[in-house]
Each structure stands twice: as structure tokens, then as C-alpha cells.
């Protein structure tokens, strides 16, 4: 073969000459390769110049102009039940989600103290390595029994339970359909997963059905995500229709019972009990321990294969310290007391229904609330909501405003959390007060808008 024959448009001799020339070139210093040095503005290295920080300061300034006390991070003096103390002043309290009043129960406190005495205040390691303690397993067994599932797993944070579970189970070949009123943790978990995401109008099953018909079949696994009791509106998910659509379109279903467990159903066992559906009809049951069960963290309940998978693959579980044993023991005791004392749940139901019925008699807009533990009073714009909060606080009633962007502008509200500890007098006092202050706040809000 002719050695000088061209290969890929270049002869062998040409190729050798080119390589020799390249070897003889002097390397170019890195600073010479830069065409221009970028100037980094000092503001980019400061937190107080970030637009988001500036927005917070603007909101504080507006609050001061409106004559508002600090709305957030109020320092309570002690135990917050139907009453609480802030800076030595007593308030009728509608800002806690200790729905069954178990947080201050001496039996819960004693269970926590006994566990702390035996195991200390920290698990001191991830449960995967050296952080496993008997109270963890006992709590998970109690949750599995409560949810009527094969197994359960407890995380140290409720928010990260949702984020990590969705992120771990789904990927870019999958699709997630979530209710538009789903909690931030569910939306964030869906986003982090890399799966395709579609939001459907709150409890609009026709909207969901159309989305499923159009998009579900372009992906491998699909899951529908909803809350059991929506925390901003106080309405239940349409579980029977969700189960129909899950079956029709070949999907998984996840129900977040953060605000429905301990609240909904005759014994407080959640939407499963309320709607009378078998537990295995739902693939992933999620809940928190920081509300009815007066502890901290979240749980996932379902098939053993699900929880075992999460125990080895879920980042927020594997790479987080185990829940403090004392917290696990406290939540376990709270579950026991809820089931042993169903009158707490019955009293909560009566209180929620009374609040909604009285509010409607006064012409107040309670939105979609079904009278369980969450009752919003829709005020309209955000300024009006804040003014209502302040006037209620002046009267010794604590109920917080929910404003944009937590809810869309025009749907701002004052949200009341109802508990079994509230008396009929408490509820009548609160409803009468909001009915009186709302018209005044609306007039004031108009003057600020001019």
C-alpha cells in the first residue's frame, strides 16, 4: 500500500508534520487564555442585598406602617393550648394544631421523660448505622397498626418526608399529578424528583381525569398526590373518586394526612376511616407527628417493600440522625391515648362544626371548610387580613393571617385552628369578634389602597 495515501483527507506525511508542529508549540498560560477578567460586584457576596431579603424588609416596613405587631416568630411563654401567654399576656389561642390537646397531657410527658432517662436526648447517629432504638420500632409498629398497613417508617422531619420520598421513588421517566392546594413539601418533592409534573384544580376530578388521559400514557410510573384534609381550606380530598381515577389510568396514589390524622373519622384514624376504604387501596400514606401526635417528624405507611426501599434509599432518612427517642415515645403514647379516649375526637368534631355554623350565621365566608380542625375566614385582600389579625390580637384572640403568596391575592384569610380543648364559649367569643372586626378592617384596607 502507498504510505502516502490519503486517509480522511490527509496524507500520512501531512499528518506527521501537523503533529510535530503541535508538539513544538509553547503552552499558553491560563491568564493569557482569558479574553477578559470578569469583575465580581461586591453586592453578590452579601446577603443583605439579595432581592429576597429586600422583599422581607419591605414587608416588615408595610406591617409597621399598618400598625401591626410582629405576626411571625412570636415567643410564647409556656404551653399553648386553647389559651397561651405571650409576654405575660393571656390570649384565646387559635394558632396551634395540637388538635386533641395531647401535648400537655402528663402521660405523654412521662413517656418522653422515661425514654430520655433510658436512651438520652439524641439518637446520636443515622438509624441506618448506629441510631436505632426500641422507641423508633415501637412507634412505627403503632403507626402501621393505626393505618392498617404492613409497615411504616418515621423521618425526623415532616417536610423532608414528602420531599425525600417523592424524590427517591420517581424520576425523569415518570409523572406526578398533584392537587393545586398541595403542601409546599409535596410540590418541592415532585420538582426535585425530575419527573414530569401536572397540577389539577383543587378536588376537580374532571380536570384530573383530562390531565391523566392526555399525559399519563407518555410515562412509565404515575402517581396522584393529594392532602387528606387541606391545611389552608379545611376541606377533605375526594378519596373515592381519586381511587376510581387511580384504577382507571393505572396510577399510584399518595395521601398526605398531616392535618387529617387524629382529626377525621370516628376514632381519628383519618380519611381511610372516614370514607370506609381499605388501607391498601392507597399506595402511600403519609402523615406528621407534630400535630395530633405532639412530637416531631413524619411517617410513610404502606407495603413492606415500600418502607424497606425508603430505609435504604431515601436521602433524608439515610443521611439524617434518627428521631430523638423521647419524641418517638411521646408520639407513641399520644396515639395510644387518642384511640383509648375517642371523646377527644368527638369533642373536636363538635367544636369545628359549631365554629362553621356560627360563622355562617354571621355571614362570614368560611370557604370550603367542612368544619373539622381548620376554618378559614376569607377576608379578601392581604391588608384586610393583617388588619383583622391585629384587631383580634388587641382583643386577646390569636389567629394568624394567611396572605399572598401562601394563597393567591384576593383569597387572603384569617385561619383558625380548632382543638378539642376549646370550649363553646371560646368559639362563640372568636366568631363574634371576627364578625365585628372584619367590616372595620375592610374599610381601613380601602383607605390604604387609595
pLDDT at residue 6, as a whole number: 45
* Partner residues linked to 287 by β-bridges: 299
- Rounded to 10 deg, the angle between the 134-147 and 325-340 helix axes is 30
- 106-340, which class in CATH? alpha beta
Please identify every stretch of the chain with a pLDDT value under 70, giving residue numbers as ranges: 1-37, 449-450
pLDDT at residue 59, as a whole number: 85
pLDDT at residue 55, as a whole number: 87
pLDDT at residue 71, as a whole number: 87
Nearest partner of 173 among 199, 193, 189, judged by Cα: 193
Quote the DSSP letter at residue 73: S
Question: What positions carry a catalytic annotation?
Answer: 231, 259, 291
Cis peptide before 405 (omega within 30 of 0): yes
> At residue 423, what are phi and psi to the nearest 5 degrees?
-95, 165
d(CA 316, CA 126): 10
State the burial class of residue 239 (Cβ atoms within 10 Å of its Cβ: 0-12, 13-18, 19+).
buried
Nearest partner of 124 among 321, 312, 317, judged by Cα: 321
d(CA 299, CA 153): 5
Q: pLDDT tens for residues 61-119? A: 888 888 898 888 999 999 999 999 999 999 999 999 999 999 999 999 999 999 999 99
Q: pLDDT tens for residues 18-31? A: 555 555 555 656 55
pLDDT at residue 12, as a whole number: 65
Q: Cα 264–268–269 angle (5° rounding)?
A: 95
Q: Is the domain 63-93+342-449 a CATH 3.90.1150.10 member?
A: yes
Domain ranges for the chain = 63-93+342-449, 106-340
Nearest partner of 195 among 211, 218, 172, judged by Cα: 172
d(CA 129, CA 441): 56
Rounded to two decimals, the pTM is: 0.89
Amino acid at each position: 500500500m502507498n504510505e502516502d495515501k490519503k486517509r480522511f483527507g490527509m496524507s500520512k506525511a501531512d499528518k506527521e508534520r501537523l503533529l510535530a508542529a503541535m508538539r513544538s508549540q509553547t503552552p499558553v498560560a491560563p491568564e493569557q487564555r482569558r479574553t477578559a477578567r470578569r469583575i465580581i460586584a461586591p453586592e453578590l457576596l452579601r446577603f443583605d442585598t439579595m432581592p429576597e431579603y429586600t422583599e422581607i424588609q419591605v414587608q416588615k416596613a408595610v406591617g409597621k406602617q399598618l400598625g401591626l405587631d410582629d405576626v411571625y416568630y412570636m415567643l410564647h411563654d409556656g404551653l399553648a393550648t386553647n389559651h397561651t401567654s405571650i409576654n405575660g399576656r393571656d390570649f384565646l389561642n387559635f394558632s396551634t394544631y395540637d388538635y386533641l390537646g395531647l401535648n400537655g397531657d402528663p402521660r405523654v410527658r412521662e413517656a418522653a421523660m422515661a425514654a430520655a432517662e433510658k436512651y438520652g436526648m439524641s439518637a446520636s447517629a443515622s438509624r441506618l448505622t448506629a441510631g436505632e432504638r426500641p422507641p423508633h420500632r415501637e412507634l412505627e409498629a403503632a403507626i402501621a397498626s393505626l393505618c392498617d398497613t404492613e409497615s411504616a417508617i418515621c423521618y425526623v422531619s415532616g417536610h423532608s418526608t414528602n420531599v425525600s420520598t417523592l424524590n427517591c421513588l420517581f424520576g425523569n421517566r415518570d409523572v406526578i399529578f398533584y392537587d393545586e392546594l398541595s403542601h409546599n413539601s409535596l410540590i418541592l418533592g415532585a420538582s426535585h424528583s425530575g419527573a414530569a409534573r401536572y397540577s389539577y384544580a383543587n378536588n376537580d376530578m374532571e380536570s384530573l381525569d383530562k390531565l391523566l388521559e392526555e399525559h399519563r400514557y407518555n410515562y412509565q410510573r404515575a402517581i396522584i398526590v393529594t392532602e387528606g384534609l387541606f391545611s389552608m381550606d379545611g376541606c377533605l380530598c375526594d378519596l373515592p373518586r381519586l381511587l376510581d381515577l387511580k384504577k382507571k389510568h393505572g396510577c399510584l396514589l399518595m395521601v398526605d394526612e398531616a392535618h387529617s390524622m387524629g382529626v377525621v373519622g370516628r376514632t381519628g384514624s383519618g380519611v381511610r376511616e372516614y370514607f370506609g376504604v381499605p388501607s391498601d387501596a392507597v399506595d402511600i400514606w403519609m402523615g406528621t407527628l407534630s400535630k395530633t401526635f405532639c412530637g416531631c417528624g413524619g411517617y410513610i405507611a404502606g407495603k413492606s417493600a415500600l418502607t424497606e426501599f425508603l430505609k435504604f434509599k431515601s436521602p433524608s432518612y439515610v443521611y439524617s440522625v434518627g428521631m430523638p427517642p423521647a419524641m418517638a415515645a411521646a408520639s407513641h403514647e399520644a396515639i395510644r391515648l387518642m384511640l383509648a379516649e375517642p371523646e377527644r375526637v368527638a369533642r373536636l368534631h363538635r367544636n369545628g362544626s359549631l365554629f362553621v355554623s356560627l360563622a355562617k350565621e354571621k355571614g362570614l365566608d368560611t370557604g370550603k371548610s367542612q368544619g373539622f380542625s381548620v376554618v378559614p375566614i376569607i377576608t379578601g385582600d392581604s391588608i384586610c387580613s393583617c388588619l383583622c389579625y391585629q384587631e383580634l390580637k388587641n382583643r386577646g384572640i390569636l389567629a394568624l393571617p394567611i396572605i399572598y403568596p401562601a394563597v393567591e391575592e384576593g383569597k387572603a384569610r384569617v385561619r383558625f385552628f380548632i382543638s378539642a380543648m376549646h370550649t363553646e364559649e371560646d368559639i362563640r367569643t372568636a366568631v363574634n369578634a371576627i364578625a365585628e372586626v372584619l367590616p372595620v378592617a375592610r374599610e381601613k384596607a380601602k383607605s390604604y389602597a387609595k
